[in-house]
Amino acid sequence: MTDPIQDTRATSAAKSSPSIMSRIRTYFLTGLVVAGPVAVTLWLVWWFVTWVDGLVRPFIPVAYRPETYLPVQIPGLGLIIAFLALTLLGFFTANLIGRKLVDFGESILSRMPVVRPIYRTAKQIFQTLFSKSESSFRRVALIEFPSPGMWSLVFLTQSPTKEIAGRLPASEYVSAFMPCTPNPTTGFFFYVPKADVIELEITVEQAMTVIMSAGIVQPGAEAQAQGSQTRLAALAETARAAQAARKAEPTTAK
């Protein structure tokens, strides 16, 4: 005879424990959440290293390339050489002789009609992006664009010069750059009244993440993602505990 109490417990455990497909789905999602970001990060790093190698390798004599003496190609050599070359360039530029050479090169570029505006603009952009000034590309804000009731993320830079501000309607203006989604290297630049700007307490990196993900990843989503990963791990632990409980359940005596 079977024990009714044991049958009831076994039935309840079978109903409360997740199915095999549910456990597989939980394990798969947990593995995907862990491995996905790592895979994307490694792929981007590998792409950048190989891209720099492709630019620098043609300038390295064949006799000095590691693959000339080794059976495999070693990635990252071009990146190391580029880093050392840029560091040495900065070191030589910091002294008087290097400064004179840079000024001489800039004077030549300044005499070229087509090259001159491109070089000056690129130089100003790089000096602004890599400067330690807190007034360049450090603030994130919202503006009502492209129509009333619709809001867009913008990056605030410096205020317009006196020449531009004098031609604008009487108000205090700020320079705003609105990147496009998902490619933030293109966008719209305009001057907007400061009174129409709502500054946000988020970093430029967080705003870039929102723009590049088309709003899928929002500020603070990292903490939520960690919470989701914790919940997935808890579900997986529950499934393992239920499976262990079923294996430990004594066989029903007849």
CA distance 11 to 5: 10
Q: Is 186 inside any structural domain? A: yes
Residue 58 in any domain: the answer is: no
Does residue 18 lie within any of the structural domains? Answer: no
Helix (H) or strand (E) holding 94: helix 77-94
- Torsion angle, alpha carbons of 17, 22, 28, 32, to 10: -100
Number of structural domains the chain divides into: 1
Q: Is residue 254 over pLDDT 50?
A: no
Tokens standing for residue 215: 């709003």
What's the domain range around 194? 135-219
Whether 233 maps to a domain, the answer reads: no
pLDDT at 130 over 60: yes
Summarize pLDDT for 228-238 with one digit per residue, the tens: 556 556 655 66
Mean pLDDT is lowest, of 149-158, 201-210, 223-232, 234-243, for: 223-232
* pTM of the predicted model as reported, rounded to 2 decimal places: 0.52
In a domain, residue 150? The reply is: yes
Whose tokens are 């989701």? That residue is 228
pLDDT digits (tens, 9 = 90+) for 52-111: 888 888 888 888 777 777 777 778 888 888 888 888 888 888 777 777 888 888 888 888
Has residue 156 been placed in a domain? Answer: yes
Is residue 128, in this structure, part of any structural domain at all? Answer: no
Write out pLDDT tens, residues 142-189.
998 888 888 889 988 877 888 888 888 888 888 888 888 877 778 888
Whether residue 215 is contained in a domain is answered as: yes
The pLDDT assigned to 253 comes to 44
